[in-house]
Amino acid sequence: MRSYRKELWFNVPTRRAFINITNQVEECLRESKIREGLCLVNAMHITASVFINDDESGLHHDYETWLEKLAPHEPVSQYRHNATGEDNGDAHLKRQVMGREVVVAVTDGGLDFGTWERIFYGEFDGRRKKRVLVKIIGE
Ligand code: ZN
């Protein structure tokens, strides 16, 4: 069995953003030379997500609106977590809703996606360097 590991780095200039990382994950898969197996992609921070959905700007706007209704950033004093001196209580909750990781089947050297599926990095507390892990196993 072959095993491949790579960290992708992001430094998002805004507090929140959704970034399509599908091409970067496909590049990892090419580098791995794995043709059949599984590809795990996970955020390595507890205020960021990796998820799969449609690359459609209206949907991303809807996510932003929905997440701000569920866990508004302001007022930061509403979160017990922020009593530690942080201001990212909302980001932890948003990450929980959007998920930590995705696993995609690798078939015939490609990511075996469903219709319109793409992989996204969801940033909820940006403006600093953060990592995503890509781990691919198979043969
Ligand atoms: Zn925090």
Domain coordinates in residue numbering, the chain:
2-138
Q: Sign of the C-alpha dihedral, residues 22, 28, 34, 40? A: negative
Whether the full predicted model's pTM is greater than 0.95, yes or no, is yes
User: pLDDT value at position 17?
Assistant: 98
Written as tens digits, the pLDDT of the chain (139 aa) is 999 999 999 999 999 999 999 999 999 999 999 999 999 999 999 999 999 999 999 999 999 999 999 999 999 999 999 999 999 999 999 999 999 999 999 999 999 999 999 999 999 999 999 999 999 999 9
CA 24 – ligand 1 centroid, Å: 27
CA 125 – ligand 1 centroid, Å: 9
User: pLDDT value at position 120?
Assistant: 98
Under a CB-based contact definition with an 8 Å cutoff, are residues 34 and 4 in contact?
A: yes
User: pLDDT value at position 99?
Assistant: 98
Residues 34 and 108: their CA atoms lie apart, in Å, by: 9
CATH class as words, domain 2-138: mainly beta
CA 81 – ligand 1 centroid, Å: 7
Which of 18, 23, 102 lies closest to 8, judged by CA? 23
